[in-house]
């Protein structure tokens, strides 16, 4: 969920600039996601085709009860604080994507560039990109950008505005995905926070096998 994290990109992990003859940017993006790549742009290199990458070690959350119970134990204080909050989808997509695109700090880069944000909006219009949101009363507490293809969930980025809401959002989103039959929740590159919550690393080959099964 954070492309700014350290992670090993494959030496041949930059995707080809095109896959066959596809009719639209949405088709191109779906083909690349389905082949195991993810987008990550850079304002200083925002020319030519939008770059997609693969990682040698892919971070993901399993959606079995044991993994989700571990996460709930880790964030139990947050879950108590947000017991009355609600999980919603796609009620604030533009707000979420704009917040996710902002650098977290002065030294952080921007990987959701304007052209990548435009692609996410096209994927949203086509029914693939979504925002998962925690609403704390009448306030948007946290939002997550996700791409859902078949039974594979790619959790792209997250922003929060209310204390504890980010942890509640992760826990509730994983429960929602599990209840709807998704195979895993891909967070691409590991961070200290996602690994503490129970994400695990799988090899590129293992990820691609599991992705094929989720898309079949």
Percent of the chain's residues with pLDDT above 70: 87
Q: What is the pLDDT of residues 102-116, one digit of tens each?
A: 877 666 778 899 999
Q: Dihedral sign, CA of 77, 94, 91, 38?
A: negative
Where do the structural domains in the chain lie, given as residue ranges?
Answer: 9-215
DSSP per-residue string spanning 88-129: EESSSHHHHHHHHHS-SSTT----S-HHHHHHHHHHHHTT-E
> Could you say which of 3.40.630.70, 3.30.1360.10, 3.40.50.150, 3.20.20.370 is the CATH number of the domain covering 9-215?
3.40.630.70
Average pLDDT over the chain, rounded to whole? 90
pLDDT-derived band at 47 (thresholds 50, 70, 90) equals confident
Give CA–CA dist 73/97, Å, rounded.
29
Report the half-sphere exposure of 195 (CA within 13 A, side-chain side). 12
pLDDT surpassing 90 at residue 6? no
Residue 101 has what pLDDT? Answer: 92
pTM more than 0.85: yes
């Amino acid at each position: 969920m954070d492309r700014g994290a350290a992670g090993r990109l494959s030496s041949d992990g930059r995707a080809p600039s095109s896959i066959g003859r596809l009719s639209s940017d949405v088709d191109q993006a779906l083909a690349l996601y389905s082949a195991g790549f993810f987008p990550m742009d850079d304002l200083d290199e925002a020319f030519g085709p939008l770059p997609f990458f693969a990682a040698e070690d892919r971070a993901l959350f399993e959606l079995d009860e044991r993994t989700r119970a571990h996460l709930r134990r880790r964030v139990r204080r947050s879950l108590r604080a947000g017991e009355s909050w609600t999980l919603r989808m796609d009620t604030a997509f533009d707000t979420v994507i704009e917040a996710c695109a902002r650098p977290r700090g002065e030294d952080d880069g921007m990987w959701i560039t304007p052209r990548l944000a435009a692609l996410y909006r096209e994927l949203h219009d086509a029914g693939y990109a979504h925002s998962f949101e925690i609403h704390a009363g009448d306030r948007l507490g946290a939002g997550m950008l996700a791409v859902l293809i078949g039974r594979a969930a790619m959790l792209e980025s997250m922003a929060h505005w209310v204390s504890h809401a980010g942890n509640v959002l992760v826990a509730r989103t994983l429960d929602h995905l599990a209840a709807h039959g998704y195979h895993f929740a891909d967070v691409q590159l590991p961070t200290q926070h996602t690994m503490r919550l129970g994400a695990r690393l799988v090899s590129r080959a293992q990820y691609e096998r599991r992705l094929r099964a989720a898309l079949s």
